[in-house]
Amino acid sequence: MADSVDRPASPSKGKGKLKDFSSEFDDLDPVVTYRHIFSPTIGPKHPLRVVALCDCNAFYANCEQVRLGIDPEKPLVVAQWGMLIAVNYPAREFGISRMDKPHEAVKRCKDLIVVHVATYAEGELEPKYHEKPDAKTHKISLDLYRRECIKVVNTYKESLIGGEIEKASIDESFIDFSIPVRDELLRRFPHLKDVPLDAPQGIDTPLPSPPSSVEWPENGNLVPIDPSKFDPSDKTLTTEQVIEAEKDLIPTWHDVCLSIAAELMSRMRKAVFERLGYYTTAGIGRNKFLAKLAASYRKRNTQNILRNSAIPGFLKPMPFQKIRNLGGKLGKALAEEFDAATVGDLLSVDLDEMQRKFGESAIWVYEVLRGIDRSEVKEKPAINKSMLASKNLPNPLSSTAEGPHWIKMLTSELAIRLHEARELTPGLWPKTISLHICEGWSDRKSKQAPFPSPRTVTIDLVLGEAMKLWNEMCKEGWRKGMKITHMGVSFHGITWAEEGQRAIETFLMAAPSRPVLTKDRARSVSVGVRDTSVEPARDVDIDDDSSYSFTCPRCKKEVSVPRKTLAECRNVSGENGDLASELQGNALAALKQEHEDFHFAQDLMRENRPIITNNTASGSGSPKRPVKKQKKGGQASEPAGIAKFFIQKGKT
DNA sequence: CATTCTTTAAGT
DNA sequence: ACTTAATC
């Protein structure tokens, strides 16, 4: 009850007063002007912003069902050791839930298909669907789901022109439809493009009235404005019924935008289903957290539209712990502090009080409770920044000698996954490696170290680095009676290697089998420097500061790698005769290739795929690499596939 | 209602 | 570098 007098006035209207409910959500029908329509960007405060969250339903189960070519209406579950990690919707009809054990589930449904997740057996280089996987000896592989997830996101991209997509988790993506929707809006209502000559406030004049009714797509649900008019347990509530009950309603321009987004979303979900066979559910609303909540309104192969006018009725009875970021400690703290469970319960807490108790987070919470969320849909790099292989140990390790077995298992998987990632994006490399263990129930320890940078991934390399960490850990000793119940190895800071570094590698790989060029010999060799075609060759002086360089037509920057660095990397050689031209050709070709690869990787990381002009379903889901390098050495740079990969073992 | 495995971000 | 928290 501290006085709020000594605090500056809060921006909230009803501050300190008894709340008038209509003012809790006071921005639901903002004025939209021509200026809004013309705005080149549509940020979090724009009144016509439209965001969707689309997630795959029972994704792992759906993946296995598709992989096995099973009828999607057959009940199917995915098991991981003694538990279920995915239950498809037909199986849920039998009352099976993720908390059930596989054997319990089978009791509920005689014909239930139980698929165990793929596992690595000891020493295996790829995961398999083993007959009888054993938690004591095998290691789970979630790779199938990771790969399928990429296909889903790529399909979204191909079927959407010009929107932003953020992959939020393995089976969820946020989509910002604002720009494509605005473009379509102008196509359908071209009169919005012209500010009337007699408009009183020019470009700041409010838009004319929207059409008197909105065509909501058939295949989705409208969250009702007044849920009390309906039986909340009625899962069959249709859009028609909602529209019928809201006959008198005057739609807004934002409603029109939502309906357009719904069409686009529907098209994207259809593409995913037709191409990949995955069912999705989407939520569509004015911002991310509402889109996410709306997605959970009705599930399985559908989409739910949350109009601004429906926000209060939807949000007030909502347990606030369902809101993203309020599911954990913060949510619990709020519940305890204010003895509240629903959003409605917290609306009477004013901003000052909230700030006193929750400091920084208060404004975010305060706004979210009122349906406001300014967070943006931001494209995340397509490449993961970290990679973890971990394992709970059913028989805890009780001696240091048992460590290496599991470390080998975990590092093998990591090496394979890194190698796989590099097939798509050559040059990816982790900055650090770390080893993490749990002793007993809650004693955790971790060690990390910089990861070295040879150019090929081998299991032995990763194993060796992890073993160093393990040995360090062992040296520090264990609590009395060592009991390791969990172990994990991970890569962090996985990024595209530095350009110069990569250029050198490419360069060296281009000439792998030639006699070694010593520094002395290199001094006597002639190499052209700036421009291969124009500048005459001149003597190499290893100590000079000149570079191989060219100007990139795309970014207009001069790209170079110091000649010195290349020379010192040794192995640069050839017969004395045409060595000069060969060297400069190799170096420049490598550098150019490297630079193209750099752009390629950047595009890939930002997921800037070339814009598809028509919706002609192109078969390939992944971007094309730039023109392949013509290698003088005639040697494949990277071994393809796991078989070859293993041959690399033992080499530096 | 608890469990295995992931990934990311942020704090100390 | 190492820990904690949050999400699926």
| Residue A12 resides in a domain | no
| Residue A7 pLDDT | 34
Task: Round to whole Å and give the CA distance between A425 and A602.
Answer: 10
Judge if A432 and A528 occupy the same domain.
Answer: no
Judge if A279 and A176 occupy the same domain.
Answer: yes
Task: Round to whole Å and give the CA distance between A85 and A292.
Answer: 21
Q: Are the C-beta atoms of residues A402 and A56 closer than 8 Å to each other? A: no
Judge if A321 and A258 occupy the same domain.
Answer: yes
Average pLDDT over residues A298-326: 95
* Residues above pLDDT 90, as percent of chain A: 59
Counted domains in chain A: 4
A127: pLDDT strictly greater than 70: yes
State pLDDT tens for residues A394-420: 999 999 999 999 999 999 999 999 998
Nearest protein residue by Cα to C1' of nucleotide C7:
A169
Judge if A410 and A550 occupy the same domain.
Answer: no
Separation in Å: C1 C1' and A390 CA: 20
Mean pLDDT of chain A: 80
**pLDDT bracket for residue A575 (50, 70, 90):** very low
- CATH assignment of the domain containing A87: 3.40.1170.60
A647: pLDDT strictly greater than 50: no
Separation in Å: B5 C1' and A242 CA: 42
A392: pLDDT strictly greater than 90: yes
**pLDDT bracket for residue A617 (50, 70, 90):** very low
Task: Round to whole Å and give the CA distance between A437 and A515.
Answer: 46
User: Could you list the residue range(s) of the whole structural domain that residue A492 is in?
Assistant: 387-496
Nearest nt to the CA of A450 via C1' is: C1
Nearest protein residue by Cα to C1' of nucleotide B2:
A99
| Residue A315 resides in a domain | yes
- CATH assignment of the domain containing A254: 3.30.70.270
Pick the closest to residue A609 from A179, A175, A169, A158 (CA basis). A158
Judge if A217 and A318 occupy the same domain.
Answer: yes
Nearest nt to the CA of A97 via C1' is: B1
| Residue A602 pLDDT | 54
State pLDDT tens for residues A576-607: 334 445 555 666 666 676 666 666 555 544 44
Q: Of A308, A341, A374, which one is at a domain's C-terminal end?
A: A341
A74: pLDDT strictly greater than 60: yes
| Residue A546 pLDDT | 65
| Residue A257 resides in a domain | yes
Q: How far is residue A159 CA from its own chain's centroid? A: 18
Judge if A174 and A236 occupy the same domain.
Answer: yes
Separation in Å: B7 C1' and A53 CA: 19
Judge if A455 and A557 occupy the same domain.
Answer: no
Judge if A542 and A448 occupy the same domain.
Answer: no
Judge if A410 and A549 occupy the same domain.
Answer: no
State pLDDT tens for residues A3-38: 333 333 333 333 334 444 557 888 999 999 999 999
A45: pLDDT strictly greater than 90: yes
| Residue A369 resides in a domain | no
| Residue A156 resides in a domain | yes
Q: Are the C-beta atoms of residues A460 and A520 closer than 8 Å to each other? A: no
Judge if A40 and A127 occupy the same domain.
Answer: no
**pLDDT bracket for residue A357 (50, 70, 90):** confident
Which amino acid is located at A533 in the chain?
Answer: S
Average pLDDT over residues A109-114: 95
| Residue A165 resides in a domain | yes
Q: Which nucleotides of C are covered by protein (CB under 7 A)?
A: 1-8
Nearest nt to the CA of A488 via C1' is: B5
Q: Of A139, A164, A182, which one is at a domain's C-terminal end?
A: A139
Task: Round to whole Å and give the CA distance between A392 and A404.
Answer: 15
Query: Looking up tokens 């190895």, which residue turns up?
Result: A489
